[in-house]
Structure 1
Amino acid sequence: MITLSPRKTIPLQLTLLTPVVAIALTLVIGAIIFATLGYHPGEALYQFFVAPISRPDQVANLFVKACPLIIIASGLVFAYRANVWNIGAEGQMILGAMFGG
């Protein structure tokens, strides 16, 4: 039988390597998906990560789309600090926008 027990300390290598491996795997899997769909993986990843910040007008559009999500995240901080789980904030924003005009 396998027994799981928490580590007493987390090694520094594991702490530093985990996000790097996660980002690398995300990029590789994303490139595979784009290639499978018939798109050039390099161009698709460029459009996702570099194009939105390459021109000032595109940066403005990025902030227009990011600001509502940042406001939602700021509101959710209070719920999470109070140990209340809320998974519907984005949907509430969309419904509020639809019914608010």
Structure 2
Amino acid sequence: MRFKIEPRPVPSRLMKYCSPLLAALLMLISGLIIFTMLGKDPIEAFHAFFVEPINDLYGIGELFIKAAPLMLIGTGLAVGFRASIWNIGAEGQL
């Protein structure tokens, strides 16, 4: 019996919503394992990654400063993809 891989015309509603949640859950679990293996407190590490950057206005401003170029890159890529132009080096051209 030969298996044939065919793309789905439309992903199921379950996969549409569960796949990002599954990816985030796997990221948290792998981070927990890595920090535990390094002998660090995973809760403290997650606090440093996810809570500390938004504790004050300075941190929020820094997030926007770092996110603005990425948003510009995404906008430029969206225009290029819409015009059927493929550009793989967008971030390097920043």
> What TM-score bracket applies, with the shorter chain setting the length?
0.7 to 0.9
**Larger relative contact order (Cα-Cα within 8 Å, sequence gap ≥ 6):** 2
Q: Separation in 1 of the partners of 2:5 and 2:70?
A: 37
Aligned mates of 1:52, 1:22 — CA distance in 2:
22
Aligned to 1:37: 38
Give the direction of change, closer, same or farther, for the CA distance of 1:56–1:77 in structure 2 (3 Å limit).
Answer: same
Task: Give unmatched runs, 5+ long, in structure 2.
Answer: none
Question: More helix by proportion, 1 or 2?
Answer: 1
TM-score by length of 2: 0.82
After superposition, residues 1-101 of structure 1 pair within 5 angstroms as 1-7=2-8, 10-93=11-94
Count the aligned residue pairs.
93
Q: Over aligned residue pairs, what C-alpha RMSD do you find?
A: 1.8
Deviation at 1:49, TM superposition (A): 1.3
* 1:15 Cα deviation after fit: 2.4
Q: CA distance change for structure 1 residues 39 and 83 in 2, over 3 Å: closer, same or farther?
A: farther
Structure 1 residues without counterparts, runs of 5 or longer = 94-101
- 1:31-62 Cα offsets, whole Å, 9 max, x none, are 21222233221111111111111111110111
Q: Which residue identity is paired with 1:61?
A: E
User: Where has structure 1 moved over 4 Å in runs of 4 or more?
Assistant: none
Q: Give the aligned residue type for 2:40.
A: Y
Shift of 1:17: 1.8
2: CA distance between counterparts of 1:73 and 1:53? 23
Q: CA–CA distance in 2 between the matches of 1:78 and 1:48?
A: 32
> In 2 relative to 1, CA 68–6 (structure 1 residues): closer, same or farther, beyond 3 Å?
closer
